[in-house]
Amino acid sequence: MPPTELQIELHSGPLPRTLAVSIARLHTEQISAGFLTSLGQRFLVHLYDSIATCDDAVLLTARQGERLAGMICGSTDTRRVYRHFVRRKAVQAGLAALPRLLTIERMKHVWETWRYPASTPQLDLPASEVLNFCVSSDFQRRGVGVSLFDRLTQELHARGLRDMKIVTGEAQESAHRFYEAVGAVLAHRTEVHRGQASRVYLYPLSHLSAHDAPDQVHTPAA
């Protein structure tokens, strides 16, 4: 795919319904085992619409024509992103996910996700981070992931940030290869959800090009 055919777009306002559904579907397809996916596509539609309207978040999509090739979202402060979501979308998203939330295990996961941003303050990790990142199977190994990651780092750097963290599941080997190739450093290991190990990478935003990285990565927020 020639680079000129790929369009990277920054979204800063309510998402068109069709786009929100497409992003939610991509998340579901590429992060099939994630906790957020388990809450259903309707929940994800509300989540991404909230992210797009949050001043502390960055949501980017990559499209080739009308086809959604990939998306990435990050935060300047994840706790503020969560609070914005609760203020703006808690009722709608909660109702959308309600049938799936009626288990003790999932309610525990909700609590763990909510408290996660404040769970390791002693480590002095940045508040900014990659929240979600995935590329459609039809567009992997074409430079889409690299282009999205580069643009996100540029957006966060332009907001005066020096570095960001990336939390990814211990089993996500393709994500580990990607982040290590772009210069991210393993800083910590944690458990966002009890019994599920994750790696925490630190990425300096002065590294403004990821062009040498392998282009296959899926990073769930929770």
pLDDT in 10s for each residue of the chain, 222 residues: 444 489 999 999 999 999 999 999 999 999 887 788 888 999 999 999 999 999 999 999 999 999 999 999 999 999 999 999 999 998 998 888 887 777 766 676 666 666 666 655 556 789 999 999 999 999 998 899 999 999 999 999 999 999 999 988 887 888 899 999 999 999 887 766 666 688 899 999 976 555 555 555 555 545
Whole-number Å distance between alpha carbons of 152 and 125: 18
pLDDT of 221: 43
Task: Give the CATH superfamily of 3-204.
Answer: Gcn5-related N-acetyltransferase (GNAT) (3.40.630.30)
User: 51 has which bridge partners?
Assistant: none
Whole-number Å distance between alpha carbons of 99 and 47: 17
pLDDT of 155: 96
Whether 50 and 84 have beta carbons less than 8 Å apart is answered as yes
The domain ranges of the chain are 3-204
Closest residue by Cα to residue 49 from 66, 73, 29: 73
Whether 152 and 75 have beta carbons less than 8 Å apart is answered as no
What is the identity of the amino acid at 97?
A
The number of C-alpha atoms within 13 Å of 49 and in the hemisphere containing its C-beta is 22
Classify 75 as helix, strand or coil. Answer: strand
What is the identity of the amino acid at 199?
R
